[in-house]
Structure 1
Amino acid sequence: MHRFGNSKDMEYRMMIDLLDNSIPLTLDIYTILFRSGYFEGYLEGVVRIWVLFQRLRRHNYNKAPLMFLSDVFYWKLNNHPMANILKNHLPIFNDYFVENFHSSIRSQTAESNTALQIIQKAKIFDVEKNSNLSFKEAFVNSRNPVISQVRLNYLEKKVSLFLFSIFDEIFHNLGNTNQVNNNKYPSFALPTFKINVDIKALPLAWNTKSKPSDDKDKFCDAEKCLLSNNNNIDLPNNNVILICGHGFHKECLTLYNGNCNHLSSEIKKKY
């Protein structure tokens, strides 16, 4: 990745955001943060997942995180005992079993089923799930989900080669990503992937009013840059690009306590 330097290329930043932010967040928030009882990490994860839902405009999903955060902040502000109960016993508040049962019912029912038919199938499914299935298991080949270490090593190398080829092509397409329309939510042509994507697929910086500067002679996105020499080439070791996609000089970033002021402003407006 060293050859990309401090590039703000949209395709490159989109892939970095996907691999370093979105995918780890969605995989870890339940399996690691929640189930381990790491409350502070889970709380931060809920904030981040809400921001992700906002960016993707998933209006059916962005309400639940806000409701959870509102409850937690209210309990903390009023010294409600529920705050400590939740913090100390987080894994107990698990709705996985409800969601899993709901998903199983959906997979075994059709839109044409009546309410009574769905209830009946749910009862049958519940009995089958909790009863002795030794007879059924004797005639059904259960799939072994365990993957051998050899297989994992093979998949790791295969994915590494795939990502290497993707980033190599992105490198040769630096600066060639173009906006294709002026809609409220514009689309962009990604030369490496040969597709047009909605702006929501790009990192958060491109979903704010203050887009990252694409001027080769201007690197820092701070509103009032502290350095007179606002140049990416002359100060490569003094430049920082945040996961959102905005770039700052280290001195300028300290003005905002290490946070992106553009993103903070957008979140405050939405919240």
Structure 2
Amino acid sequence: MSQNVPTYVPTVPRTTLVTSIPSIRQYIERGHMIPLVADWPGQIHLRTAILRYLPLAQTPKPWHINLLLEISRSAWQEISKAVKEKFGSLYKDAEYLALKDLLDNSIPLVLDIYAVFFRSGDYNTYLESCFHVWTLFFRFSRKNYTKAPVMFLSDIFYWESTNHPILEVIKAELPKLSDATVEIFHSFLRRSTQKHTEAKQIINHGRFINQLHLDGNRFKEKFAHTSTWAAYEYSARDISNLTKKCACFLLHCFSEIYIRVFHHKSPLIFSSPIINSSSKKKGKAKEKSEESISLTAMKMPEAHLSHLSLGFNTLHKPDPFRYCDLTNCPVFFPINPNPIRILACGHSYHESCYASNDFKCLYCLAFLQDRVDKHVQSLLESLRDLNKKKKEKIKE
């Protein structure tokens, strides 16, 4: 009997060997444990198959980005009601509002501004979306993208003030004012040329592509066989499974926020501003003061205010301990209950206070007006400098 049954002592070193592997130890510390009978290193292979994530490419293909956004929106539509009911309508934690704003507003905006609003000819919604896109570019300091929307909106408002007939053409024929053909042509041209290609060769390539465009069948055939959108790797069943996995991932993120605030009683607190004077532009030191914040549930240990809702970028940030962010709020909540409204920017107001402000968030409105003025002035200065350089070249 003793010869057939292995003793406990030789088993201990083997168990220690398995748990000494960093990836296995981290897997166990997370609370995961799978009993498995396998020869070494079968335990490692199983853990790798279950836990390891595939790295996202640095420059993912357009269809891959679109797939991730669509899956995120579909997953949020399945769980949003349950999440909002769990947190309640008066929850103002910065990380919760940031993740909720991303799923409620930013992702749908990116997906719908062209595919739905523009292509359907919904002029008013498309115009409003252009301003929302500008606020995203502005929050993330995308210098090369903040000027174009301002120029477009400036033209629209000017045509409205002068009753220019082109405005009626834009409203009536919005889907036809697309540069898709130009972008496709440019993509083909870049794909068939290199950095060292001479100008004459580029012209010849352009003529060849234009000839394909005149021959509709050959052009469509070339686009279908060479486009990155043609190589779609996922079936409807795969997308359904990915949506469920994304929903589980989002639920895990919201669960971490809920546990941090309601169980650990640890609301999100902003750290002191960090001053960065290392960056230089045109030989001049450029100082940048920005507050850093840790968004652990969103896997962003060193996030910035730009990653939060718009209200957290203003001087008057939303206060999680106040029902109404209005400075001179006349309503005392415990005595005179008044419905509360939390806006997408993160600020909250009593309905009476919100109505007295003409249904606007005055803090964010003043903040955006100030930034629009600064960007317009910067754009005008750039245009003046460009005009000055052209005049100097003419004189030379």
With over 3 angstroms needed to count, the CA separation of the structure-2 counterparts of 1:87 and 1:188, relative to structure 1, is: same
Which residue of structure 2 lines up, in the alignment, with residue 226 of structure 1? 330
When the two structures are aligned, how many residues end up with a matched partner?
A: 263
Structure 1 residue 254: Cα displacement: 0.8
With over 3 angstroms needed to count, the CA separation of the structure-2 counterparts of 1:125 and 1:238, relative to structure 1, is: same
Structure 1 residue 115: Cα displacement: 4.3
Distance 2:109 2:269 in 1: 28
1:204 pairs with 2:310: yes
1:177 pairs with 2:289: no
Structure 1 residue 229: Cα displacement: 2.9
Runs of 4+ displaced beyond 6 Å:
none
TM-score (norm 1): 0.85
Q: Tell me the secondary structure at the aligned position of residue 160 of structure 2.
A: helix
- Comparing 83-92 with 151-160, greater Cα deviation is found at 151-160
Counterpart of 2:166 (choices 66, 71, 82) is 82
1:64 pairs with 2:64: no
Distance 1:88 1:141 in 2: 34
Q: Where does the alignment leave 5 or more consecutive residues of structure 1 unmatched?
A: none
Distance 2:302 2:273 in 1: 13
Q: CA RMSD in A?
A: 2.9
Distance 2:254 2:164 in 1: 50
Distance 2:256 2:201 in 1: 53
Distance 1:255 1:112 in 2: 63
1:239 pairs with 2:301: no
Distance 1:102 1:141 in 2: 14
Question: What amino acid maps onto 2:259 in structure 1?
Answer: H
Which residue of structure 1 lines up, in the alignment, with residue 242 of structure 2? 155
Residue pair 1:219, 1:230 contacting (<8 A) in 2 also:
no
Distance 1:194 1:35 in 2: 35
Structure 1 residue 73: Cα displacement: 1.0
Distance 1:17 1:50 in 2: 16
Distance 1:105 1:154 in 2: 38
With over 3 angstroms needed to count, the CA separation of the structure-2 counterparts of 1:141 and 1:187, relative to structure 1, is: closer
Question: What is the 5 A alignment of 1:93-112?
Answer: 93-112=177-196
TM-score (norm 2): 0.60
Distance 1:206 1:257 in 2: 21
Identity value in percent: 35
Distance 1:17 1:107 in 2: 37
Q: Where does the alignment leave 5 or more consecutive residues of structure 2 unmatched?
A: 1-82, 275-288, 373-396
Distance 1:121 1:39 in 2: 37
With over 3 angstroms needed to count, the CA separation of the structure-2 counterparts of 1:258 and 1:145, relative to structure 1, is: same
User: Which structure is richer in relative contact order (CA contacts within 8 A, separation 6 or more)?
Assistant: 1
Residue pair 1:75, 1:83 contacting (<8 A) in 2 also:
yes
**Which entry has the higher C-alpha Rg, 1 or 2?**
2
Residue pair 1:205, 1:246 contacting (<8 A) in 2 also:
yes
- Comparing 243-252 with 175-184, greater Cα deviation is found at 175-184
Structure 1 residue 107: Cα displacement: 4.8
